[in-house]
Amino acid sequence: MAYLERIVEAKQVAVWNEFSTEPEPPFTAILVADTVVVLDEQILGKPTDIAHAFLLLQKLAGRTHRVMTRFVLRDRNPLGPKIGHTVTTEVTLANPGETCLRRYAATGEGLDKAGAYAAQGIGAFLVERLVGSYTNVVGLPVSHVVEALVSAGWLKDFP
């Protein structure tokens, strides 16, 4: 998804520009990522308030959507490796009804989450089915990041 690639690339450039001018940058590699929720080819962002969270949850209830996380790893050496990968997970949410969705939205748990729910929190009760990486839905596909770190040589002797 071009939007996600642009956002993550912009983050990566911003972090790189912040630290790359130092004689000895305080990192070996940079990891940046962003996650979006996509329903019917429409990106559902983070809710602006509890009412908006409820509307997002209503859209997702009883339906399958995609959670997409793009991450980029970059070596501090400008000539070193730069790895970008997008991980997609399909998530089907239950439809517990309007009252339940309103109560969940009112907890505020999903206010800082794309799609207005947290699969790792109270919102776990909404997740009916998940196909793909659970940690991707939480926000960072850990196994994919570790695989990229190993393949780039940044993580050696990993189990």
Q: Which residues are known to be catalytic?
A: 34
* CA 20 – CA 121 distance, rounded (Å): 37
What CA–CA distances, in Å, run from 81 to 43, 75, 130, 151?
A: 30, 6, 32, 10
* CA 56 – CA 45 distance, rounded (Å): 9
CA angle at 131 for the pair 94 and 33, rounded to the nearest 5°: 100
Give the contacts of 8 (CB within 8 A, at least 6 positions apart): 32, 33, 34, 70, 71, 72, 84
Tokens of 47: 């809710």
